[in-house]
């Protein structure tokens, strides 16, 4: 457990032999080992499931499992043995996967199973999982946790790296907290609580619950009607979506990533042409076609915090002050004609840094050198300080540490209370539930349902995210049904 950049992944990569330690010792089963590479770690029974899967997309499941653990120079005997062994493992741990399926054709949850099978096939006794639920639906996460419990029962050691407090409470026996590269505490899960762990992680008391008053919705500021958007391959990803956002209200769009939310965001913000439908801002239809659609949307008062700050929100090789005016560089206060008023831009950047407490407070630093949370603050400051009528935000806290999450959430609520209309898209269900005043669930390009965050359970939302709109969701075991947030 630990914030981003606390050193969790680095520590585990050292255990797995991906990096080598400068000093210190590692003991496996009581004997000291200097783990020099991944092969060595595997031989010691340490297996790792990386956050970004280490799979070859156009290979079959079987080929991926065998890669690096082949028996001989020819493939066939290895593949045959792996097929039998996989069959046994799948039954033993209840991990069903089709061995002949190609990786790119199976779901993310299935791909993760392949990673686990890969480790087990190599005889792993200790399994390290790095942020395993980040890419999963609540249902898939439940399945994963069931598998992890089975592994524990079979005598395996499971190390779970996560920043989600609820997962720690739900499944672990003991928890170690890291902060700034140091292990600050090791606790028995049963004898601690989320507040204590969060405090240890951040080093100060953290409000886990977002404090917000009731919404006071006013007139409709953003209206989307029958929007159809296709992706680069011409496949429809948004299939006729309509909704409206009023002033003083946050609409949250929930859903498993890849169900059209990205295309919806890109279309409303003018980055992607729409196939059909209209976007109405303040009663005026917005013209978003063409390469300068995004600029026109901004000029009309629609600010956009894109999902992927490094790819779409910032030019990471540019200095902070350059990024602070990106997208608004043509506006009159930053210079007339072809010339840029650098002093004005730097002044704006300095102002943003103060307001949003960006660290380090250095406007000349390249943005790639800021942490994820501070990069996000730079983008948020730029968009929010323009005082837009409508703010469209994608994944506001992806890869952002707890301290910064708290800050960003407060800023979003503050904007709402100032009477702005906010459209929030996030794959973090917790975030949607705690920020949004109304939740729309997207599945396969359509909005399958609307929910009231005050009353909807995570189970109901999870079912909608899987495309099933059923108000009376059956209750079962697992974290998806564990009720309100900690």
Residues that bind other proteins (CB under 8 A): 16-19, 37-42, 48, 50, 54-59, 63-64, 66-70, 72-76, 78
Report in angstroms how near the CB of residue 76 gets to other proteins at its nearest. Answer: 7
Residue (24 or 73) nearer to other proteins, CB: 73
Residue (15 or 447) nearer to other proteins, CB: 15
Residue (64 or 375) nearer to other proteins, CB: 64
Tell me which H or E stretch contains 188.
Answer: strand 182-188
Residue (112 or 172) nearer to other proteins, CB: 112
Question: Quick check: 228 and 239 in contact, CB under 8 A?
Answer: yes
Residue (39 or 91) nearer to other proteins, CB: 39
**119 closest CA partner among 34, 50, 203:** 50
Report in angstroms how near the CB of residue 232 gets to other proteins at its nearest. Answer: 11
Report in angstroms how near the CB of residue 259 gets to other proteins at its nearest. Answer: 24
Residue (54 or 343) nearer to other proteins, CB: 54
Cα→Cα distances 223→49, 172, 244, 265, 323, Å = 43, 45, 4, 13, 29
Report in angstroms how near the CB of residue 64 gets to other proteins at its nearest. Answer: 8
Tell me which H or E stretch contains 13.
Answer: helix 8-15
**143 closest CA partner among 132, 154, 156:** 132
Report in angstroms how near the CB of residue 283 gets to other proteins at its nearest. Answer: 43
Rounded Cα–Cα distance for residues 444 and 259 (Å): 5
Question: Quick check: 473 and 459 in contact, CB under 8 A?
Answer: yes
Q: Between the CA atoms of 441, 443, 449 and 450, what dihedral angle is there, to the nearest 10 degrees?
A: 10
The pair of structure tokens assigned to 399 is 């890869």
Neighbours of 412 (CB within 10 A): 25
Residue (71 or 452) nearer to other proteins, CB: 71
Report in angstroms how near the CB of residue 54 gets to other proteins at its nearest. Answer: 4
Rounded Cα–Cα distance for residues 399 and 168 (Å): 18
Count of CA atoms in the C-beta half-sphere (13 A) of 218: 13
Rounded Cα–Cα distance for residues 13 and 38 (Å): 9
**326 closest CA partner among 343, 312, 308, 307:** 312
Report in angstroms how near the CB of residue 317 gets to other proteins at its nearest. Answer: 17
Rounded Cα–Cα distance for residues 408 and 90 (Å): 43
Residue (13 or 374) nearer to other proteins, CB: 13
Residue (57 or 333) nearer to other proteins, CB: 57
Report in angstroms how near the CB of residue 402 gets to other proteins at its nearest. Answer: 22
Residue (57 or 417) nearer to other proteins, CB: 57
| Neighbour-count burial for 179-205, b at 16+ CB within 10 Å, e otherwise | beeeeeeebeeeebeeeebbebbbeee
Report in angstroms how near the CB of residue 129 gets to other proteins at its nearest. Answer: 14
Report in angstroms how near the CB of residue 123 gets to other proteins at its nearest. Answer: 13
Four-residue CA torsion sign, 6, 161, 115, 235: negative
Residue (36 or 470) nearer to other proteins, CB: 36
CB within 8 A of 365, min separation 6: which ones?
A: 319, 320
Rounded Cα–Cα distance for residues 189 and 169 (Å): 6
Report in angstroms how near the CB of residue 350 gets to other proteins at its nearest. Answer: 31
309: Cα separation from own chain's centroid: 12
**426 closest CA partner among 446, 396, 464:** 396
């Amino acid at each position: 457990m630990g914030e981003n950049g606390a050193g969790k992944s680095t520590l585990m990569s050292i255990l797995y032999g991906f990096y080598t330690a400068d000093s210190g010792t590692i003991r496996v089963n009581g004997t000291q080992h200097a783990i020099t590479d991944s092969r060595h770690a595997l031989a010691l029974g340490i297996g790792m499931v990386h956050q970004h899967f280490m799979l070859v997309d156009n290979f079959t499941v079987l080929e991926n499992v065998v890669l690096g653990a082949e028996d001989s120079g020819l493939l066939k005997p290895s593949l045959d043995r792996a097929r039998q062994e996989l069959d046994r493992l799948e039954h033993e741990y209840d991990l069903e996967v089709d061995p002949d399926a190609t990786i790119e054709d199976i779901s993310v949850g299935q791909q993760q199973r392949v990673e686990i099978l890969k480790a087990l096939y190599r005889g792993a006794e200790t399994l390290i999982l790095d942020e395993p639920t980040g890419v999963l639906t609540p249902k898939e996460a439940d399945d994963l946790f069931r598998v992890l419990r089975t592994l524990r029962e079979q005598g395996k050691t499971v190390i779970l790296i996560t920043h989600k407090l609820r997962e720690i409470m739900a499944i672990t026996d003991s928890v170690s907290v890291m902060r700034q590269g140091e292990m600050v505490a090791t606790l028995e899960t049963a004898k601690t609580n989320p507040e204590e762990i969060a405090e240890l992680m951040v080093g100060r008391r953290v409000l886990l619950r977002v404090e917000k008053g009731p919404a006071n919705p006013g007139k409709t500021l953003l209206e989307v009607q029958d929007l159809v958007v296709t992706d680069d391959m011409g496949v429809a990803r948004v299939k006729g979506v309509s909704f409206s956002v009023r002033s003083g209200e946050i609409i949250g769009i929930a859903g498993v990533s890849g169900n059209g939310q990205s295309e919806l965001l890109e279309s409303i913000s003018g980055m992607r042409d729409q196939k059909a439908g209209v976007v109405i801002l303040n009663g005026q239809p917005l013209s978003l076609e063409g390469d300068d659609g995004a600029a026109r949307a901004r000029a009309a008062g629609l600010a956009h915090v894109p999902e992927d700050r490094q790819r779409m929100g910032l030019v990471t090789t540019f200095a902070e002050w350059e990024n602070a005016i990106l997208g608004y560089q043509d506006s009159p206060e930053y210079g007339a004609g072809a010339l840029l008023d650098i002093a004005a831009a730097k002044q704006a950047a300095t102002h943003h840094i103060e307001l949003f407490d960006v660290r380090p407070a250095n406007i000349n630093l390249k943005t790639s050198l800021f942490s994820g949370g501070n990069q996000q603050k730079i983008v948020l400051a730029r968009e929010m300080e323009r005082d837009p009528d409508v703010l469209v935000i994608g994944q506001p806290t992806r890869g952002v540490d707890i301290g910064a999450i708290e800050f960003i959430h407060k800023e979003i609520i503050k904007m709402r209370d100032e009477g702005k209309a906010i459209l929030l898209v996030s794959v973090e269900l917790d975030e949607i539930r705690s920020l949004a005043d109304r939740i729309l669930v997207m599945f396969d390009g359509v909005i399958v349902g609307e929910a009231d965050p005050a009353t909807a359970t995570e189970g109901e939302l999870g079912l909608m995210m899987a495309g099933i709109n059923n108000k009376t969701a059956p209750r079962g075991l697992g974290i998806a049904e564990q009720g309100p947030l900690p």
